[in-house]
Structure 1
Amino acid sequence: MTNDVIIVGAGIIGAACARSLAAAGCDVTVVDRGTTAGGTSSACEGNLLVSDKGPGYELVLAQYASTLWKAAAVDLTEQLGPQFPSVEYEAKGGLVVATTEAGARVLLDFAASQRSAGVDACVLDADAAHELEPDLTPGITAAVHYPEDAQVQPTIATEALMASARRYGARLLENTPVTGAILDSAGALVGVKTPAGDLRASRVLIAAGPWSGDVAALLGVHLPVRPRRGELLVTSRMPHRIFHKVYDADYVGAVGSDDSALQTSSVIESTAGGTVLIGSSRQQVGFDARLRVDALSEIAAKALRLFPFLAGAAVIRSYGGFRPFMPDHLPVIGEDPRMPGLWHAAGHEGAGIGLSLATAELLTALMLKRPTHLDASPFSAARASLAPHLKAASYAI
């Protein structure tokens, strides 16, 4: 069977792309070596953020995405019906705080730059910050409120997008690893090999999160996506005492850092189920999934600086996941100029949940040669900032 598009990866990026393409009339098959939401999409916080992004291309993509999520949550509920779990879309807003004078200067300068790019970043005094978060430490030196920040339950959101894609006619092949490329005589990619047989398509999209580099290598090109490990703590259920996504100003620096060593910062929020998620860490350790007590200890200690009452909270579990790190901190969205037929939607680092819908809309427009909502060239695999990190394609499969 010949498909319009084969999507490799059933995380939230692959699911969102499948839904958008299938809704646009494309014949779509999604393949994954595991199951839907079996990787990064089930090992994160479900952030839909603009607050952590400075002026630039990623912020533009995030701003577009924020306009899509509210409508998508309603659409998914209507399409899938009340029997399907809610994606728990919550426009809770974010509160970023500093606890030192140096941190305050950095935070306020960053917020000013964001406002120049159209972000709603409202500077608060201490009294106003404590009106939003009464249990916040009194020792804050600056606070900025971001009402555009939101959250979803990431596993359910991924499952819902995939279920929607299947309603539009997309096919899903789980537990089906891609083992190689099918090339025509001119070197164009016309399908993929799997243990269940060959799949052919005019376009193959890699949307495999931090494993996208491995998939690209199987198909014959180099893509510089690397895994970046992150850890989280989860408390037992409690009455809601944290009402926004609250994080310290260090988080922004950790997001944009290239440092491979362990970095931690406080990111704290309540879930709809009553637990509290406490993050976060970033560390480049390959695909080593071993528990890192040092990271969890730092995360816990920093969380207490923002919310001292958490000292009495019971931690019921911890979990970690891999984020798809890109050397120039931008995802790759579009066709690969080195291999006709190969497309990418990968490298979103820790922002894949939030950017998924905008990525899918942009990719669908590019594939169908329709006008794009925003300039797609900054996300091209041919962009100048990525060139030093790419190698020439090798077609010896």
Structure 2
Amino acid sequence: MANDVIVIGAGIIGAACARALAVAGVAVTVVDRGTTASGTSAACEGNLLVSDKGPGHELQLAQYASSLWDGTVARLREELGRGFPSLEFDRKGGLVVATTAAGAGPLLDFAALQRGAGVEARVLDAAEARELEPDLTDSFQAAVFYPEDAQVQPAIATDALMASAQQYGARLLENTAATGGIRDSSGALVGVHTPQGPLRASRVLIAAGPWSGEVAELLGVALPVRPRRGELLVTSRMPHRIFHKVYDGDYVGAVGSDAGDLQTSSVVESTAAGTVLIGSSRQQKGFDSRLEVEVLGQLAAKALRLFPFLAGAQVMRSYGGFRPFMPDHLPLIGEDPRLPGLWHATGHEGAGIGLSLATAELVRDLMLGTPTRIDAAPFQASRASLLPHLTGVAA
């Protein structure tokens, strides 16, 4: 049993893991070279989705996570009090449309496969779709509604999970970078070096999102996590005219693609503040954060295909962030067999917000040696789909 854990990373994955462990009575120290939610968790839409995942292990993890969000939000509200900002949790549902005849068949086939895996995916006719979204374009060929999809304000959710973890005794060290590992005489990892001095613990959990590969290298192992850049547009406030998460069916293909070049798809939704978020893009270009006007132009053009009225909207700002891309499109959750004492909770690509709570429960249960609610083997380092990308891991 782990009696103390160092978590590297104060994004939503690290915060959720810290909270789950602290609630279970584990002594937790969270370190981050920046501040809470200063990386990927503050540079995304806050999606909690099942609609974009086909049958398989990631969908099972997403369904597990979806079952946790309502109760967790309620408990956080009780723990933190009315003075804490709202998490803006909204199980608004997602509407996926095919804007071309060629896209209609694949969308409906995908929805049928999801229903077979327990996802609620309702095929709508044109009238039903417009009842949900009156301003939706007339030019769509098929529509599927996913009532389980939800949204949360990601930075506030991260802050809330971290604040709760601290109430249960977790220690947070911001602006504290892990610069190397500490090993005992047997070679096991028993802590990390920081500029402020050494920190020791029975286990070290890397939850550093797209920077997890860099952290792993500092601790002595290779990890194939790569940054995948995403950009978003934000309109100025307007009357509420978009009521669900709405996206074109080509978004699903972009999510699962291995391509490194620029891919854009249409994803549009409103926020509680009255702005409209417009995405999404995916591009592998390292940690290059320079703004690309071409990307923003494609996002705007594709959003108009779904909601023509947005032609009159003013864009208030744009922002982007890096998502932790894994070569087999599955997060890495669990112990690293190459280095005793090292654990991972990373590689969630663009789904980390939604998958955070389930990831945290898996980490907690695995560390404490208690049964997990779903099979954890598909997310561990020894899985067959990841072995070709690792060195020093026995099958």
TM-score norm. by structure 1 comes to: 0.98
1:53-92 equivalences in 2 (<5 Å):
53-92=53-92
Secondary structure in 2 matching 1:290: coil
Moved more, 184-193 or 319-328: 184-193
Measured against aligned partners, the alpha-carbon deviations of 1:45-69 in whole angstroms (never above 9, x if no partner) come to: 0000000000000000000000100
- What residue number does 1:377 align with? 377
Partner of 1:327, secondary structure, is: coil
Aligned to 2:153: 153
Runs of 4+ in 1 over 2 A off after TM superposition: none
* Amino acid across the alignment from 1:45: E
**Corresponding residue for 2:365?**
365
Query: 2:199 aligns to what?
Result: 199
Bigger shift: residues 377-386 or 2-11 = 2-11
Most deviating of 182-191 and 9-18? 182-191
Partners of 2:293 and 2:226 in 1: how far apart?
A: 22
Paired letter, 1:89: F
Q: How far apart are the structure 1 equivalents of 2:243 and 2:316?
A: 21
In structure 1, distance between residues paired with 2:91 and 2:332 = 27
Counterpart of 1:335 in structure 2: which amino acid?
E
Q: Which residue of 2 aligns with 1:241?
A: 241
Task: Give the structure 2 partner of residue 353 of structure 1.
Answer: 353
Tell me what 1:268 maps to. Answer: 268
Cα distance in 2 for residues equivalent to 1:200 and 1:290: 38
Size of the alignment, in residue pairs? Answer: 392
Secondary structure at the counterpart of residue 202 of structure 2: strand
Query: 2: CA distance between counterparts of 1:250 and 1:99?
Result: 9
CA contact (8 A) 1:3 1:200 kept: no
The CA distance in 1 between the partners of 2:192 and 2:3, in whole Å, is 11
Q: Deviations over 1:105-143 (max 9, x none)?
A: 110010000000000000001111001000000011000
Give the residue type in structure 1 aligned to 2:16. A
Cross-structure match for 1:102: 102
Once the two structures are superposed, the pairs formed by residues 143-182 of structure 1 within 5 Å of their partners are 143-182=143-182
Alpha-carbon shift at residue 182 of structure 1 (Å): 0.3
Q: Paired residue for 2:392? A: 392
Which position in structure 2 is the counterpart of 1:186? 186
Q: Is the 8 A contact 1:211 1:227 kept in 2?
A: yes
The question of whether the paired residues in 2 share the 8 Å contact of 1:3 and 1:29 is answered with: no
Q: Is the 8 A contact 1:266 1:280 kept in 2?
A: yes
**Counterpart mapping for 1:114-125 below 5 A:** 114-125=114-125
Measured after TM superposition, the shift of residue 391 of structure 1 is 1.8
Deviations 1:359-390 (A, max 9, x none): 00011000000010000000001111000001
Secondary structure at 1:145's aligned position in 2?
Answer: strand
Corresponding residue for residue 217 of structure 1: 217
Q: Unpaired segments of 5 or more residues in structure 1? A: none
Q: Distance in 1 between matches of 2:345 and 2:292?
A: 30
Amino acid at match of 1:301: A
Asked if the contact 1:92/1:243 (under 8 Å) is kept, the reply is yes
Q: Is the 8 A contact 1:222 1:392 kept in 2?
A: no
Q: For residues 75 and 168 of structure 2, what CA distance do their matches in structure 1 show? A: 13
How far off is 1:186 after superposition?
A: 1.3
Report the secondary structure of 1:89's partner residue.
Answer: coil
Aligned to 1:294: 294
Map Cα deviations across residues 246-304 of structure 1 (whole Å, 9 max, x no partner).
Answer: 00000000000000000000110000000000000000000000001111100000000
The residue type paired with residue 201 of structure 1 is A
In the alignment, the residues of structure 1 paired with residue 3 and residue 366 of structure 2 have an alpha-carbon distance, to the nearest angstrom, of 17
Alignment pair present for 1:33 and 2:33: yes
Other-structure match for 1:24 = 24
2:282 aligned partner: 282
1:313-351 alpha-carbon deviations (Å, 9 max, x no partner): 000000000000000000000000000000000000000
Paired residue for 1:256?
A: 256
Which secondary structure state, in structure 1, belongs to the residue aligned with residue 84 of structure 2? coil
Equivalent in the alignment of 1:8: 8
Give the secondary-structure state (helix, strand or coil) at the position aligned to 1:265: strand
How far, CA to CA, are the matches of 1:354 and 1:75 in structure 2?
Answer: 17
Displacement of 1:3? 6.7
The letter for the 2-side match of 1:287 is F
1-structure distance, mates of 2:245, 2:44: 14
Amino acid at match of 1:172: L
CA distance in 2 between partners of 1:274 and 1:128 (Å): 24
Cα distance between partner residues in 2 of 1:139 and 1:311: 16
In 2, distance between residues paired with 1:237 and 1:159?
24
Q: 2 CA distance for matches of 1:49 and 1:321?
A: 19
Aligned to 1:133: 133
The one-letter amino acid of 1:156's match is I
Please tell me the residue identity of whatever aligns with 1:258.
D
Q: What is the CA–CA distance in structure 2 between the aligned matches of 1:22 and 1:375, rounded to whole Å?
A: 23
Deviations 1:217-251 (A, max 9, x none): 00000110000000000000011100000000000
- Which amino acid in structure 1 is aligned with residue 279 of structure 2? G
The one-letter amino acid of 1:376's match is A
Task: Report the secondary structure of 1:366's partner residue.
Answer: helix
Structure 2 residue ranges without an equivalent (≥5):
none
CA offset at residue 392 of structure 1? Answer: 2.8
Letter in 2 for 1:382: S
The answer as to 2:341 corresponding to 1:341 is: yes
Structure 1 Cα separation of the partners of residues 292 and 389 of structure 2 = 30
- SS of equivalent to 2:354: helix
The residue that corresponds to 1:321 in the other structure is 321
Deviations 1:137-196 (A, max 9, x none): 001100000000000000000000000000000000000001000011111000000000
